[in-house]
Chains A and B, each alone.
Chain A
């Protein structure tokens, strides 16, 4: 029994020791694959996995960098969301943000619609429509304006730009259609 086991093991080992014959061309294909250049040294460097070890100090520095980046993004977003609010300088005591209610008025008896369009509503012709008072042709609206010099113009019937006949015209006329101008002070004086 023991003898037969040894013979069996010997026969198995013999078969394992025998050289394996691969199919024709196998060796050539393997060598060709080995000789193929890498895709790109940069790409290989990027996709190659690696272990990143950070000391506590380096970790703190990285965290500070992330916090700084997030704050920068946050501030940039806030500036876009609140474009109309003037920012007071930190130490200018006399410069106080002021928002005043301003009434715009236009007499236009034959108008179907009147709106006020200016730098306080992104020059949107439909954002701030005036209301006609009891069909008398007097169109009004009250708008809160931040401190500053604002340019505006009335839009009558959705297609006619009309400067405010009672307000000064802006000296700037970049687009060939004059604007009216209103100045809202920053101080209460």
Chain B
């Protein structure tokens, strides 16, 4: 009886090992577009992500982006590793139940210099609502030249007032238009956040001739659209 159980356990172990090997197999998309050495290195990073229960698809996409842009192999691997680190920190800051979309948005914010503690704070302020758009807006503000402190302050303020995803999208678009019209990024973010908080009409931002929206129109909630050039 004991021998039979031992045999069964050994059989299960072999089968599970086979399953693990299959799960760790190389992604065909990578093999088709990267050299073998790079695929091996990226696959190791993917395996590391799996062991941490992190999503692997963003890492695959990072590698494919590098392949599309004909980046050197070392740079591709370094970019994938860096993203894995950011996803790890983002998951730690946002919680184990975070969605892949939230982790990617959080990683983007971290990449822009946003502290991990801010991600945790935004998560707390948003309650059970997703934080994808809030963190995406935060990263967008930083990318537009708003200092990290100012961007964090604006998003935290909006989130603490219960701003919806649509409100955040509107805010982001307004700040983007203000900056394009010549407003200093920090001022644009501060003034627009204040206007959104007060519930009043958007404030006039210094450096901008008028506040009339240009082009575009209403967009679906929760979506930052690629606008009209």
Contacts and interface: CB of A to CB of B under 8 A. Distances in A.
Interface of A: 52-55, 57-59, 61-62, 64-66, 68-69, 72-73, 76, 79-80, 83-84, 86-89, 91-95, 98, 100, 102-107, 117, 119, 122-125, 146-149, 151, 161, 164-172, 174-177, 179-189
A171 B4 contact: no
Q: Which of A94, A106, A123, A169 counts the most B-chain CB atoms under 10 A from its CB? A: A123
A119 B108 CA distance: 14
Q: What's the dominant secondary structure at chain A's contact region? A: loop
Q: Which size bracket describes the interface of B in this complex?
A: 35 or more
Contact of B101 (A105, A148, A189): A148
B8 A58 contact: yes
B140 interface: yes
Main secondary structure of the interface of B (DSSP, over half): helix
Interface string B113-142: 000000000000001111011011101101
Contact of A68 (B4, B12, B25, B139): B12
A55 B5 CA distance: 9
A62 B227 CA distance: 58
B71 interface: yes
A99 to B, nearest CB: 11
A121 B84 CA distance: 21
Contacts of A66: 15
Contacts of A105: 226, 228-229
A28 B9 CA distance: 48
Interface of B: 1, 4-5, 7-9, 11-12, 15-16, 18-20, 22-23, 25, 27-29, 56-58, 60-62, 64-69, 71, 75-76, 79, 82-83, 97-102, 104-105, 108, 111-112, 127-130, 132-133, 135-137, 139-140, 142-144, 164-166, 169, 172, 176, 220-229
B4 A147 contact: no
Contact of A189 (B58, B111, B166, B228): B166
A149 B19 contact: no
Given A58-B7, A185-B165, A68 B223 contact: no
Contacts of A100: 220, 222-223
A145 to B, nearest CB: 8
A64 B16 CA distance: 11
Contacts of B222: 98, 100, 147, 183-189
7 contacts: A55-B4, A61-B5, A69-B15, A167-B226, A175-B65, A185-B221, A189-B164
